[in-house]
Amino acid sequence: MNPPPPTSTSFHQPNLHIFSLSFSFLLIFFLFIYLSTALDYILTLPKTKNDALKGSPFPLSALPSCGYWCPRGLSDSVLCSLLILKFSGLFTQTMRGGGLWQLGQSITRRLAQADKKAVSARRFFASEADLKKTVLYDFHVTNGAKMVPFAGWSMPIQYKDSIMDSTVNCRENGSLFDVSHMCGLSLKGKDCVSFLEKLVIADVAGLAPGTGTLTVFTNEKGGAIDDSVITKVTDDHIYLVVNAGCRDKDLAHIEEHMKAFKAKGGDVSWHIYDERSLLALQGPLAAPVLQHLTKEDLSKLYFGEFRILDINGSTCFLTRTGYTGEDGFEISVPSENAVDLTKAILEKSEGKVRLTGLGARDSLRLEAGLCLYGNDMEQHITPVEAGLTWAIGKRRRAEGGFLGADTILKQLEKGPSIRRVGIISSGPPARSHSEIKDEKGGADLGEVTSGGFSPCLKKNIAMGYVKSGSHKAGTKLKILIRGKAYDGVITKMPFVPTKYYKPS
């Protein structure tokens, strides 16, 4: 007798089983293919919980061996593999008890957690709904942006151009960045200046209306809570922008001290500009392009100065500043007009100013020798150690009156024990946490905080902290990368000359 025809169940189950196994092996195969291209760099990731909590929410560094830029030296292809496997039930069931699962979990923690007092822990594999989006999100996607989680936001890390090409184009032509994840706010009231001077190192009272400066919020021990660009709009109005990763911490700090200040009769209030977006137009074409969109004479607006003016039909806050070392502007625009302004800037540039993401922004600021909070400056680092003594006003040095003043003024008098320095090195690029040794490779000098390949200089550059006495330009040293020592030399910063627009 012939056997009965197979039922639907008996026919499909073995094939489904074979398909599941094949799919599982295929995913694992791709994981190991990608891992093989990045194994060396995985070894340089932080190895302890404390290390994992250091740094910005998404610190960026270069991978010149594969020509790609990615977070903490980890290959993007590995992240893609883990993302696929993370959402695969097969991976969950077959690997949960093994090393690969722990590796994936470790990577997500390292990428998603920043300074534990600055940003609450976030999972890298957060759902899209968990991430905030700027009003330009759809515009970014339409224009080919690769979106990544950054400080709780979905932000463009790059567009169709490579990060290296975008970096060079910013210096030769121009770049337009969406930095709306950063937090703009105003302090108002007749006592707003004296209030802010209790929290920052700048001589706010000495600023002329319409001018600003970089400053640092300090804690009671003199450590940096955050760095910020502040502007005195008028004597009773201060405008400032704080980092996205420090937003919650900064606002809580300001609010706490504001309550105490007001309880003693101080007149100060604040407004957070959640209804506005922030664009950064940087590069040699920034001023010529923006001039097409406003009647104000931008040649009379110098580096660090601020205006409230009409740009492309919208009332904007315009500051001549940036995070690239180039001439440029940060433009606070009503969110409902942000897309139109972005389109207008790109159109007026005739394709020379390009949309640019966080990857190139990081390489530009590193070339300019600018600190990345969470990497190059943290709560245990003072402004003096970070090389920002120029930001401490002369009156503030004499009078103090800000949090941590005793520690900072003592360091100004006697010198700090460590100092931030620039380094040019051989071999592979130095990464955050790479050890710095003396020229013979024996004595410990310090640690790298930011490093990568410079697209403009075609050299490995880095910043880090070394012991005072070993900080002078020309000092030779060794940098340990994956257990091997490479030559380096301390170099003056910025690595690439700045081009700020100042009176001649």
Render each residue's pLDDT in the chain as its tens digit; 504 residues: 444 443 333 334 445 445 455 555 566 655 655 554 444 444 444 443 333 333 333 333 333 333 333 333 333 443 444 344 344 433 333 333 333 333 233 222 323 333 333 443 333 445 667 899 999 999 999 999 999 999 999 999 999 999 999 999 999 999 999 999 999 999 999 999 999 999 999 999 999 999 999 999 999 999 999 999 999 999 999 999 999 999 999 999 999 999 999 999 999 999 999 999 999 999 999 999 999 999 999 999 999 999 999 999 999 999 999 999 999 999 999 999 999 999 999 999 999 999 999 999 999 999 999 999 999 999 999 999 999 999 999 999 999 999 999 999 999 999 999 999 999 999 999 999 999 999 998 999 999 999 999 999 999 999 999 999 999 999 999 999 999 999 999 999 999 999 999 998
6 in a structural domain = no
344 in a structural domain = yes
Q: Which helix (H) or strand (E) holds 253?
A: helix 247-263
Residue 470 belongs to a domain with what CATH number?
A: 2.40.30.110
Both 200 and 73 in one domain: the answer is no
Domain boundary residue, one of 368, 392, 413: 413
440 in a structural domain = yes
DSSP state of 246: G
Cβ 432 vs Cβ 446: under 8 Å: no
Both 217 and 245 in one domain: the answer is yes
Domain boundary residue, one of 360, 393, 413: 413
**Which sign, positive or negative, has the C-alpha torsion 128, 134, 139, 145?**
negative
Both 408 and 439 in one domain: the answer is no
Domain boundary residue, one of 381, 397, 413: 413
The β-bridge relationship of strands 146-150 and 153-158 is antiparallel
Total domains in the fold of the chain: 3
Both 402 and 494 in one domain: the answer is no
User: Based on C-alpha coordinates, what's the Rg of the chain?
Assistant: 25
Both 492 and 392 in one domain: the answer is no
Both 153 and 94 in one domain: the answer is no
Short-list 16, 41, 11, CA closest to 452: 41
The Cα–Cα gap between 84 and 62 comes to 24
Query: 454: domain range?
Result: 417-504
Both 41 and 66 in one domain: the answer is yes
Both 401 and 427 in one domain: the answer is no
- How much is the pLDDT for 355? 99
Short-list 321, 331, 420, 416, CA closest to 372: 420
Both 87 and 143 in one domain: the answer is no
- How much is the pLDDT for 39? 47
Which residues lie below 8 Å from residue 164, measured CB to CB, with a gap of 6+?
67, 69, 363, 455
Which residues lie below 8 Å from residue 343, measured CB to CB, with a gap of 6+?
none
Both 395 and 441 in one domain: the answer is no
Cβ 91 vs Cβ 85: under 8 Å: yes
Cβ 257 vs Cβ 225: under 8 Å: no
Both 385 and 439 in one domain: the answer is no
pTM above 0.85, yes or no: no
375 in a structural domain = yes
Cis (ω within 30 of 0) for the bond into 5?
no
Both 404 and 494 in one domain: the answer is no
The Cα–Cα gap between 477 and 470 comes to 9
7 in a structural domain = no
3 in a structural domain = no
- How much is the pLDDT for 129? 73
4 in a structural domain = no
The Cα–Cα gap between 313 and 441 comes to 60
Residue 214 belongs to a domain with what CATH number?
A: 3.30.1360.120
